[in-house]
Amino acid sequence: MKQPQGRMSRQRFILIGILFFHSVNTYMDRACIASAVDYIKKDLSMSRELMGLVLGIFALGYALFQVPSGWIADKLGPRKALTIVVSVWSCFTALTGAARSAIQMLFLRFLFGVGEAGAFPGAAQAFFRWLPVEDRGLAHGINFSGSRLGAAFSLFLMPWLIIKIGWRWTFAVNGLIGIIWATVWLIWFRDNPRDNPKVNEAELDYIERGRTSDFTAAVKASFAEVFTSLNMVLAMIQYFASNVTFFISLTWLPNYLKSQWPDDPKAVYFSAVPLIFAAFANWVAGTMVRQLFNKGYHVGSRRITAIVGFSLGVVGLLLATQTDDLYMFVLYFSIATFGVDMTLSPSWAFCNDIGGANSGAVSGSMNMVGNIGAALSAIMFPFFQNEATGNANSFFVLAAGLTSWLLLCGA
Protein backbone atom coordinates (compact mmCIF):
# COMPACT_ATOMS: atom_id res chain seq x y z
CA MET A 1 0.00 0.00 0.00
CA LYS A 2 1.27 3.43 -0.94
CA GLN A 3 2.03 5.99 1.72
CA PRO A 4 -0.63 8.72 1.94
CA GLN A 5 -0.39 11.89 -0.16
CA GLY A 6 1.63 14.62 1.55
CA ARG A 7 5.31 15.36 1.70
CA MET A 8 6.99 13.72 -1.27
CA SER A 9 9.09 10.64 -0.51
CA ARG A 10 12.66 10.56 -1.81
CA GLN A 11 13.18 6.99 -3.02
CA ARG A 12 14.39 8.17 -6.44
CA PHE A 13 17.36 9.75 -4.64
CA ILE A 14 18.18 6.37 -3.11
CA LEU A 15 18.08 4.91 -6.63
CA ILE A 16 20.58 7.54 -7.80
CA GLY A 17 22.79 6.77 -4.78
CA ILE A 18 22.78 3.01 -5.37
CA LEU A 19 23.61 3.49 -9.04
CA PHE A 20 26.35 5.95 -8.04
CA PHE A 21 28.04 3.14 -6.10
CA HIS A 22 27.36 0.81 -9.03
CA SER A 23 29.33 3.24 -11.18
CA VAL A 24 32.12 3.41 -8.58
CA ASN A 25 32.35 -0.38 -8.67
CA THR A 26 32.48 -0.64 -12.45
CA TYR A 27 35.48 1.65 -12.69
CA MET A 28 37.29 0.22 -9.70
CA ASP A 29 37.21 -3.07 -11.58
CA ARG A 30 38.40 -1.44 -14.80
CA ALA A 31 41.12 0.74 -13.24
CA CYS A 32 42.51 -2.08 -11.11
CA ILE A 33 44.50 -3.42 -14.04
CA ALA A 34 46.20 -0.03 -14.58
CA SER A 35 47.81 -0.37 -11.15
CA ALA A 36 48.81 -3.97 -11.88
CA VAL A 37 50.35 -3.38 -15.34
CA ASP A 38 53.99 -3.76 -14.29
CA TYR A 39 53.29 -6.86 -12.18
CA ILE A 40 51.30 -8.53 -14.96
CA LYS A 41 53.91 -7.73 -17.62
CA LYS A 42 56.61 -9.25 -15.43
CA ASP A 43 54.71 -12.36 -14.27
CA LEU A 44 53.29 -13.18 -17.69
CA SER A 45 56.33 -12.02 -19.72
CA MET A 46 54.36 -9.52 -21.80
CA SER A 47 55.67 -6.69 -23.98
CA ARG A 48 54.32 -3.13 -23.76
CA GLU A 49 52.47 -3.60 -27.07
CA LEU A 50 50.89 -6.88 -25.92
CA MET A 51 49.86 -5.22 -22.67
CA GLY A 52 48.21 -2.50 -24.75
CA LEU A 53 46.18 -5.21 -26.46
CA VAL A 54 45.15 -6.61 -23.05
CA LEU A 55 44.05 -3.15 -21.94
CA GLY A 56 42.18 -2.55 -25.18
CA ILE A 57 40.48 -5.92 -25.58
CA PHE A 58 38.26 -5.21 -22.58
CA ALA A 59 36.84 -2.22 -24.47
CA LEU A 60 36.33 -4.39 -27.57
CA GLY A 61 34.26 -6.97 -25.68
CA TYR A 62 32.48 -4.16 -23.87
CA ALA A 63 31.65 -2.40 -27.14
CA LEU A 64 30.48 -5.45 -29.09
CA PHE A 65 27.93 -6.45 -26.46
CA GLN A 66 26.50 -3.02 -25.69
CA VAL A 67 23.43 -3.34 -27.89
CA PRO A 68 22.55 -6.92 -26.85
CA SER A 69 22.99 -5.99 -23.19
CA GLY A 70 20.90 -2.86 -23.62
CA TRP A 71 18.20 -4.88 -25.36
CA ILE A 72 18.21 -7.33 -22.43
CA ALA A 73 17.80 -4.43 -19.99
CA ASP A 74 14.83 -3.15 -22.03
CA LYS A 75 13.16 -6.56 -22.18
CA LEU A 76 13.97 -8.07 -18.76
CA GLY A 77 13.95 -4.79 -16.89
CA PRO A 78 16.92 -3.25 -15.07
CA ARG A 79 16.34 -5.25 -11.87
CA LYS A 80 17.07 -8.64 -13.44
CA ALA A 81 19.47 -7.30 -16.06
CA LEU A 82 21.81 -5.50 -13.65
CA THR A 83 21.74 -8.37 -11.18
CA ILE A 84 22.88 -10.70 -13.96
CA VAL A 85 25.50 -8.49 -15.60
CA VAL A 86 27.10 -7.32 -12.34
CA SER A 87 27.33 -10.92 -11.11
CA VAL A 88 28.83 -12.12 -14.41
CA TRP A 89 31.46 -9.39 -14.75
CA SER A 90 32.38 -9.71 -11.05
CA CYS A 91 33.15 -13.40 -11.61
CA PHE A 92 35.41 -12.57 -14.56
CA THR A 93 37.07 -9.80 -12.55
CA ALA A 94 37.94 -12.35 -9.88
CA LEU A 95 39.11 -14.87 -12.50
CA THR A 96 41.50 -12.29 -14.01
CA GLY A 97 43.74 -13.00 -11.05
CA ALA A 98 43.92 -16.65 -12.09
CA ALA A 99 45.43 -15.95 -15.54
CA ARG A 100 48.69 -17.82 -16.14
CA SER A 101 49.48 -16.67 -19.68
CA ALA A 102 48.95 -13.74 -22.01
CA ILE A 103 46.33 -15.72 -23.96
CA GLN A 104 44.35 -16.45 -20.81
CA MET A 105 44.58 -12.80 -19.79
CA LEU A 106 43.30 -11.66 -23.18
CA PHE A 107 40.41 -14.14 -23.01
CA LEU A 108 39.40 -13.18 -19.47
CA ARG A 109 39.62 -9.43 -20.08
CA PHE A 110 37.48 -9.81 -23.20
CA LEU A 111 34.84 -11.72 -21.23
CA PHE A 112 35.05 -9.14 -18.44
CA GLY A 113 34.22 -6.51 -21.05
CA VAL A 114 31.34 -8.60 -22.35
CA GLY A 115 29.97 -8.97 -18.83
CA GLU A 116 30.26 -5.28 -17.98
CA ALA A 117 28.61 -4.19 -21.23
CA GLY A 118 25.17 -3.97 -19.64
CA ALA A 119 26.24 -1.77 -16.70
CA PHE A 120 25.34 1.68 -18.00
CA PRO A 121 22.55 0.75 -20.45
CA GLY A 122 20.86 -0.96 -17.49
CA ALA A 123 21.29 2.16 -15.38
CA ALA A 124 19.90 4.29 -18.24
CA GLN A 125 16.79 2.11 -18.37
CA ALA A 126 16.37 2.42 -14.58
CA PHE A 127 16.60 6.21 -14.83
CA PHE A 128 14.05 6.24 -17.65
CA ARG A 129 11.56 4.30 -15.50
CA TRP A 130 12.13 6.20 -12.26
CA LEU A 131 12.99 9.81 -13.17
CA PRO A 132 11.24 12.69 -14.92
CA VAL A 133 12.91 14.15 -18.02
CA GLU A 134 14.26 17.24 -16.26
CA ASP A 135 16.16 15.20 -13.64
CA ARG A 136 17.87 12.70 -15.93
CA GLY A 137 20.79 14.88 -17.00
CA LEU A 138 21.85 15.52 -13.40
CA ALA A 139 21.25 11.88 -12.48
CA HIS A 140 23.52 10.70 -15.29
CA GLY A 141 26.11 13.26 -14.22
CA ILE A 142 26.08 11.98 -10.64
CA ASN A 143 26.20 8.41 -11.93
CA PHE A 144 29.26 8.97 -14.09
CA SER A 145 31.01 11.01 -11.42
CA GLY A 146 30.99 7.79 -9.40
CA SER A 147 32.90 6.02 -12.15
CA ARG A 148 35.59 8.67 -12.16
CA LEU A 149 35.88 8.76 -8.38
CA GLY A 150 36.03 4.97 -8.30
CA ALA A 151 38.88 5.00 -10.78
CA ALA A 152 40.72 7.75 -8.87
CA PHE A 153 40.25 5.93 -5.56
CA SER A 154 41.60 2.77 -7.18
CA LEU A 155 44.86 4.47 -8.06
CA PHE A 156 45.58 4.80 -4.35
CA LEU A 157 43.82 1.72 -2.99
CA MET A 158 44.88 -0.86 -5.58
CA PRO A 159 48.67 -0.34 -5.36
CA TRP A 160 48.41 -0.65 -1.57
CA LEU A 161 46.22 -3.75 -1.88
CA ILE A 162 48.56 -5.30 -4.44
CA ILE A 163 51.49 -4.84 -2.07
CA LYS A 164 49.50 -6.41 0.79
CA ILE A 165 47.88 -9.40 -0.94
CA GLY A 166 49.32 -9.50 -4.47
CA TRP A 167 47.76 -8.51 -7.79
CA ARG A 168 45.95 -11.83 -8.21
CA TRP A 169 44.00 -11.63 -4.93
CA THR A 170 43.32 -7.94 -5.55
CA PHE A 171 41.18 -8.90 -8.53
CA ALA A 172 39.34 -11.44 -6.35
CA VAL A 173 38.50 -8.74 -3.79
CA ASN A 174 37.12 -6.50 -6.53
CA GLY A 175 34.93 -9.33 -7.77
CA LEU A 176 33.49 -9.89 -4.29
CA ILE A 177 32.48 -6.22 -4.01
CA GLY A 178 30.43 -6.59 -7.19
CA ILE A 179 28.57 -9.62 -5.87
CA ILE A 180 27.65 -7.68 -2.72
CA TRP A 181 26.28 -4.80 -4.83
CA ALA A 182 24.22 -7.16 -7.01
CA THR A 183 22.63 -8.65 -3.88
CA VAL A 184 21.62 -5.22 -2.56
CA TRP A 185 20.20 -4.24 -5.96
CA LEU A 186 18.13 -7.41 -6.26
CA ILE A 187 16.63 -6.90 -2.79
CA TRP A 188 15.85 -3.16 -3.03
CA PHE A 189 15.08 -2.21 -6.64
CA ARG A 190 11.79 -2.70 -8.49
CA ASP A 191 11.37 -2.01 -12.20
CA ASN A 192 8.21 0.01 -11.57
CA PRO A 193 8.37 2.61 -8.78
CA ARG A 194 4.75 1.71 -8.02
CA ASP A 195 6.00 -1.62 -6.69
CA ASN A 196 8.22 0.04 -4.09
CA PRO A 197 6.10 0.48 -0.95
CA LYS A 198 8.22 3.43 0.21
CA VAL A 199 7.36 5.51 -2.88
CA ASN A 200 4.32 7.57 -1.89
CA GLU A 201 1.66 8.94 -4.21
CA ALA A 202 3.23 12.42 -4.31
CA GLU A 203 6.56 11.09 -5.55
CA LEU A 204 4.88 8.66 -7.93
CA ASP A 205 2.82 11.48 -9.42
CA TYR A 206 5.96 13.61 -9.82
CA ILE A 207 7.75 10.77 -11.61
CA GLU A 208 4.92 9.79 -13.93
CA ARG A 209 3.95 13.34 -14.93
CA GLY A 210 7.55 14.15 -15.86
CA ARG A 211 8.62 10.98 -17.66
CA THR A 212 7.62 12.30 -21.10
CA SER A 213 7.18 15.74 -22.65
CA ASP A 214 6.85 17.39 -26.05
CA PHE A 215 10.66 17.39 -26.10
CA THR A 216 10.77 13.58 -26.13
CA ALA A 217 8.43 13.15 -29.07
CA ALA A 218 10.58 10.38 -30.53
CA VAL A 219 10.11 7.98 -27.62
CA LYS A 220 7.58 5.90 -29.58
CA ALA A 221 9.95 5.32 -32.49
CA SER A 222 11.33 1.83 -33.01
CA PHE A 223 14.91 1.03 -32.10
CA ALA A 224 15.80 0.62 -35.80
CA GLU A 225 14.43 4.10 -36.62
CA VAL A 226 16.31 5.70 -33.75
CA PHE A 227 19.55 3.80 -34.45
CA THR A 228 19.68 4.96 -38.09
CA SER A 229 18.72 8.59 -37.41
CA LEU A 230 21.23 11.39 -38.03
CA ASN A 231 21.00 12.52 -34.40
CA MET A 232 21.97 9.05 -33.18
CA VAL A 233 24.88 8.79 -35.61
CA LEU A 234 26.23 12.14 -34.37
CA ALA A 235 25.81 11.04 -30.74
CA MET A 236 27.79 7.88 -31.43
CA ILE A 237 30.63 9.78 -33.14
CA GLN A 238 30.68 12.27 -30.26
CA TYR A 239 31.00 9.47 -27.73
CA PHE A 240 33.77 7.86 -29.78
CA ALA A 241 35.79 11.08 -29.59
CA SER A 242 35.34 11.60 -25.85
CA ASN A 243 36.43 8.03 -25.10
CA VAL A 244 39.62 8.33 -27.15
CA THR A 245 40.82 10.98 -24.70
CA PHE A 246 39.31 9.77 -21.46
CA PHE A 247 40.28 6.07 -21.69
CA ILE A 248 43.97 6.97 -21.42
CA SER A 249 43.24 7.98 -17.82
CA LEU A 250 42.22 4.39 -17.06
CA THR A 251 44.94 2.59 -18.97
CA TRP A 252 48.25 4.22 -19.82
CA LEU A 253 48.34 7.44 -17.79
CA PRO A 254 49.82 6.00 -14.53
CA ASN A 255 52.53 4.19 -16.48
CA TYR A 256 53.12 7.25 -18.70
CA LEU A 257 53.66 9.59 -15.74
CA LYS A 258 56.10 7.14 -14.15
CA SER A 259 58.13 6.77 -17.34
CA GLN A 260 58.18 10.46 -18.28
CA TRP A 261 59.05 11.71 -14.79
CA PRO A 262 61.02 8.81 -13.26
CA ASP A 263 62.79 11.07 -10.76
CA ASP A 264 59.52 11.90 -9.00
CA PRO A 265 58.35 8.86 -6.97
CA LYS A 266 54.94 10.48 -6.51
CA ALA A 267 54.33 11.06 -10.22
CA VAL A 268 52.07 8.04 -10.62
CA TYR A 269 49.67 9.29 -7.96
CA PHE A 270 48.99 12.42 -10.00
CA SER A 271 47.15 10.20 -12.48
CA ALA A 272 44.20 10.45 -10.08
CA VAL A 273 43.89 14.21 -10.65
CA PRO A 274 42.32 14.05 -14.15
CA LEU A 275 39.79 11.54 -12.82
CA ILE A 276 38.80 13.89 -9.99
CA PHE A 277 38.44 16.70 -12.53
CA ALA A 278 36.26 14.38 -14.62
CA ALA A 279 34.04 13.56 -11.64
CA PHE A 280 33.54 17.27 -10.98
CA ALA A 281 32.82 17.83 -14.69
CA ASN A 282 29.91 15.40 -14.53
CA TRP A 283 28.34 17.31 -11.65
CA VAL A 284 28.85 20.62 -13.46
CA ALA A 285 27.47 19.30 -16.75
CA GLY A 286 24.53 17.57 -15.07
CA THR A 287 23.57 20.77 -13.27
CA MET A 288 24.03 22.77 -16.48
CA VAL A 289 21.77 20.38 -18.41
CA ARG A 290 19.07 20.60 -15.75
CA GLN A 291 19.14 24.39 -15.48
CA LEU A 292 19.11 24.97 -19.23
CA PHE A 293 16.26 22.48 -19.63
CA ASN A 294 14.20 24.19 -16.92
CA LYS A 295 14.74 27.54 -18.65
CA GLY A 296 13.20 26.13 -21.82
CA TYR A 297 16.40 25.35 -23.74
CA HIS A 298 15.46 21.72 -24.25
CA VAL A 299 17.72 20.94 -27.20
CA GLY A 300 20.30 23.48 -26.06
CA SER A 301 20.62 21.83 -22.65
CA ARG A 302 22.18 18.84 -24.42
CA ARG A 303 23.96 20.61 -27.27
CA ILE A 304 25.46 23.66 -25.54
CA THR A 305 26.86 21.58 -22.67
CA ALA A 306 28.60 19.24 -25.11
CA ILE A 307 30.06 22.11 -27.16
CA VAL A 308 31.52 23.75 -24.04
CA GLY A 309 32.98 20.42 -22.98
CA PHE A 310 34.63 19.59 -26.29
CA SER A 311 36.06 23.11 -26.52
CA LEU A 312 37.78 22.64 -23.16
CA GLY A 313 38.95 19.21 -24.30
CA VAL A 314 40.74 20.62 -27.35
CA VAL A 315 42.39 23.39 -25.33
CA GLY A 316 43.59 20.99 -22.64
CA LEU A 317 45.01 18.44 -25.09
CA LEU A 318 46.94 21.03 -27.09
CA LEU A 319 48.34 22.68 -23.96
CA ALA A 320 49.48 19.26 -22.71
CA THR A 321 51.81 19.00 -25.72
CA GLN A 322 53.52 22.28 -24.83
CA THR A 323 55.06 21.43 -21.47
CA ASP A 324 57.72 19.18 -19.98
CA ASP A 325 56.70 19.96 -16.42
CA LEU A 326 54.84 17.20 -14.55
CA TYR A 327 52.47 19.50 -12.70
CA MET A 328 51.56 21.58 -15.74
CA PHE A 329 51.03 18.43 -17.84
CA VAL A 330 48.69 16.99 -15.20
CA LEU A 331 46.79 20.29 -15.04
CA TYR A 332 46.39 20.52 -18.82
CA PHE A 333 45.39 16.88 -19.23
CA SER A 334 42.93 17.35 -16.36
CA ILE A 335 41.35 20.25 -18.26
CA ALA A 336 41.05 17.93 -21.26
CA THR A 337 39.36 15.17 -19.27
CA PHE A 338 37.11 17.73 -17.56
CA GLY A 339 36.05 18.91 -21.00
CA VAL A 340 35.36 15.58 -22.65
CA ASP A 341 33.54 14.31 -19.57
CA MET A 342 31.17 17.28 -19.69
CA THR A 343 29.68 15.54 -22.73
CA LEU A 344 28.53 12.45 -20.83
CA SER A 345 25.51 13.83 -19.01
CA PRO A 346 23.94 15.41 -22.12
CA SER A 347 24.78 12.35 -24.23
CA TRP A 348 23.07 9.85 -21.93
CA ALA A 349 20.12 12.14 -21.26
CA PHE A 350 19.77 12.47 -25.02
CA CYS A 351 19.59 8.67 -25.33
CA ASN A 352 16.70 8.69 -22.84
CA ASP A 353 15.05 11.46 -24.86
CA ILE A 354 15.07 9.65 -28.17
CA GLY A 355 15.13 6.07 -26.90
CA GLY A 356 12.27 6.07 -24.40
CA ALA A 357 11.38 2.45 -23.63
CA ASN A 358 14.33 1.44 -25.81
CA SER A 359 16.75 3.50 -23.68
CA GLY A 360 18.92 0.49 -22.87
CA ALA A 361 19.54 -0.50 -26.50
CA VAL A 362 19.85 3.09 -27.71
CA SER A 363 22.35 4.10 -25.02
CA GLY A 364 24.11 0.79 -25.60
CA SER A 365 24.55 1.70 -29.27
CA MET A 366 26.20 4.98 -28.35
CA ASN A 367 28.35 3.30 -25.74
CA MET A 368 29.33 0.61 -28.25
CA VAL A 369 30.83 3.12 -30.67
CA GLY A 370 32.35 5.09 -27.82
CA ASN A 371 34.18 2.05 -26.54
CA ILE A 372 35.49 1.17 -29.95
CA GLY A 373 37.21 4.53 -29.55
CA ALA A 374 38.37 3.46 -26.09
CA ALA A 375 39.80 0.20 -27.42
CA LEU A 376 41.65 1.94 -30.23
CA SER A 377 42.94 4.51 -27.74
CA ALA A 378 44.52 1.88 -25.49
CA ILE A 379 45.92 -0.14 -28.38
CA MET A 380 47.31 2.83 -30.35
CA PHE A 381 48.83 4.83 -27.51
CA PRO A 382 52.13 2.88 -27.29
CA PHE A 383 52.61 3.16 -31.06
CA PHE A 384 52.24 6.95 -30.96
CA GLN A 385 54.90 7.34 -28.30
CA ASN A 386 58.28 8.61 -29.46
CA GLU A 387 60.69 5.65 -29.36
CA ALA A 388 63.55 7.72 -27.96
CA THR A 389 61.73 9.84 -25.39
CA GLY A 390 58.47 7.97 -24.73
CA ASN A 391 56.67 11.28 -25.34
CA ALA A 392 53.05 10.88 -26.55
CA ASN A 393 52.41 14.38 -27.91
CA SER A 394 51.43 12.99 -31.31
CA PHE A 395 48.61 11.01 -29.68
CA PHE A 396 47.34 14.09 -27.86
CA VAL A 397 47.38 16.08 -31.12
CA LEU A 398 45.41 13.29 -32.83
CA ALA A 399 42.80 13.32 -30.04
CA ALA A 400 42.58 17.13 -30.22
CA GLY A 401 42.12 16.97 -33.99
CA LEU A 402 39.27 14.49 -33.68
CA THR A 403 37.59 16.63 -31.05
CA SER A 404 38.05 19.78 -33.13
CA TRP A 405 36.42 18.10 -36.11
CA LEU A 406 33.37 17.36 -33.97
CA LEU A 407 33.19 21.00 -32.92
CA LEU A 408 33.22 22.08 -36.55
CA CYS A 409 30.30 19.72 -37.12
CA GLY A 410 28.44 21.48 -34.30
CA ALA A 411 29.06 18.80 -31.62
3-state secondary structure of 411: coil
Identity of residue 408: L
DSSP 237-270: HHHHHHHHHHHHHHTTHHHHHHHHSTT-TTGGGG
In contact, 309 and 340? CB cutoff 8 Å = yes
User: Which helix (H) or strand (E) segment is 285 a member of?
Assistant: helix 272-294
In contact, 286 and 139? CB cutoff 8 Å = yes
> Closest Cα to residue 151, out of 64, 319, 275?
275
* The three-state (H, E, C) secondary structure of 41-97, written as one string: HHHCCCCHHHHHHHHHHHHHHHHHCHHHHHHHHHHHCHHHHHHHHHHHHHHHHHHHC
Q: What is the spatial distance between Cα 111 and Cα 88, in angstroms, rounded to a whole number?
A: 9
> Closest Cα to residue 259, out of 45, 37, 29, 31?
37
3-state secondary structure of 221: coil
Confidence at residue 223, expressed as pLDDT on a 0 to 100 scale: 60
The residue ranges of DSSP E strands in 5-48, in sequence order, are none
3-state secondary structure of 297: coil
Confidence at residue 410, expressed as pLDDT on a 0 to 100 scale: 56
Identity of residue 28: M
Q: pLDDT 10s per residue in the chain (411 long)?
A: 455 556 889 999 999 999 999 999 998 887 788 788 889 999 998 887 888 888 878 878 888 888 888 889 888 999 999 999 999 999 999 999 999 999 999 999 999 999 998 898 899 899 989 998 888 888 988 998 998 898 888 878 898 999 999 999 999 999 999 999 999 999 999 999 999 999 999 999 988 887 765 444 444 556 666 666 777 888 888 889 888 998 888 788 988 999 999 999 888 889 999 999 999 999 999 899 889 888 888 777 888 898 999 999 999 999 999 999 999 999 999 999 999 999 988 888 888 887 777 778 888 888 888 888 888 888 888 888 887 888 999 999 999 998 888 777 655
Helices 11-35 and 48-64 pack at an angle, to 10 degrees, of 150
> Closest Cα to residue 100, out of 92, 112, 108?
108
Number of neighbours of residue 217 by Cβ within 10 angstroms:
12
Confidence at residue 33, expressed as pLDDT on a 0 to 100 scale: 85
Q: What is the spatial distance between Cα 111 and Cα 115, in angstroms, rounded to a whole number?
A: 6
Confidence at residue 226, expressed as pLDDT on a 0 to 100 scale: 66
Identity of residue 129: R
Contacts of 17 (CB under 8 A, 6+ apart): none
**Protein fold of 11-408:** Growth Hormone; Chain: A; (1.20.1250)
Confidence at residue 5, expressed as pLDDT on a 0 to 100 scale: 55
In contact, 66 and 236? CB cutoff 8 Å = no
What's the pLDDT tens digit per position in 242-278?
A: 889 988 887 889 889 999 999 998 888 899 999 999 9
**What is the greatest pairwise CA distance in the chain?**
71
Q: What is the spatial distance between Cα 78 and Cα 29, in angstroms, rounded to a whole number?
A: 21
Contacts of 170 (CB under 8 A, 6+ apart): 32, 36, 97, 158, 161, 162
Contacts of 283 (CB under 8 A, 6+ apart): 141, 142, 145
Is the C-alpha dihedral spanning 79, 80, 86, 91 positive or negative?
positive
**C-alpha distance across the termini of the chain, in Å:** 47
Confidence at residue 237, expressed as pLDDT on a 0 to 100 scale: 85
